[in-house]
Amino acid sequence: MVFITKFARVGVQAARQLRAKPIAVSQWRSFHVSCMLDKERRYTDKHEWVELLDANKAIVGISSYAQEALGDVVFAQLPEPGTELKQDDECGALESVKAASEVYSPVTGKVTEKNSQVEDSPALVNTSCYEKGWLFKVDLKNPDEFNKLMTEEQYKSFLSSSADH
């Protein structure tokens, strides 16, 4: 037993020393180029966004503007997988300490996955609305609907055109 305890202490000390050493010049940090490339996101006038995963699959969330307007999100109700949605159908809700807002489907299709992490930890919508705070994934029934939504530039123009959204 004494040997195991001493061995564990040596392991902890070695780990501390390794963390304290500076990174050698020969070591390189790696990153994925795919994370650096922005995928095209389209927006609705109700502040949902859609991003294509492939020709017939998309991911849906709310915009940064919407999450800022809501405030700290404390509850999320998302559509169940298998739910058939039409464009502009109400399909969920987000509640914050100061307001509640319905979630509308920006496209027609069938929900394939909901982000259960958002239901468990709704604050993800505030901290990472475009990455970890997405709401649901959908198989598109009409992929042309995506092209009719606002581009990021059009959405920014929409936001700046009026203070009341």
pLDDT per position as a tens digit, 59-105:
999 999 999 999 999 999 999 999 999 999 999 999 999 889 999 99
Burial 98-128 (b: 16+ CB within 10 A, else e): eeebebbbbbbbebbebbeebeeebebbbee
pLDDT at 23 over 60: no
- Residue 55 is predicted with a pLDDT of 87
Do the Cβ atoms of 43 and 150 come closer than 8 Å? yes
14 pLDDT more than 60: no
- Looking at the chain, the whole-number percentage of residues with pLDDT higher than 70 is 74
Among residues 78, 75, 72, the alpha carbon closest in space to that of 105 is found at: 78
* 25 pLDDT above the threshold of 50: no
Structure tokens at 49: 């966004």
CA angle 113, 117, 119 (to 5 degrees): 90
What's the rounded Cα separation, in Å, for the pair 86 and 70?
A: 24
Please give the pLDDT value at position 164: 60
Query: Of 32 and 148, which is predicted with more confidence?
Result: 148
> Which pLDDT does position 29 carry in this prediction?
42
> How far apart, in whole angstroms, are the C-alpha atoms of residue 84 and residue 109?
6
DSSP state of 39: P
Work out the percent of the chain whose per-residue pLDDT is above 90.
Answer: 69
What mean pLDDT comes out for the span 134-141? Answer: 97
**Residue with the two structure tokens 């700290």:** 72
CA neighbours within 13 Å on the CB side: how many for 67? 22
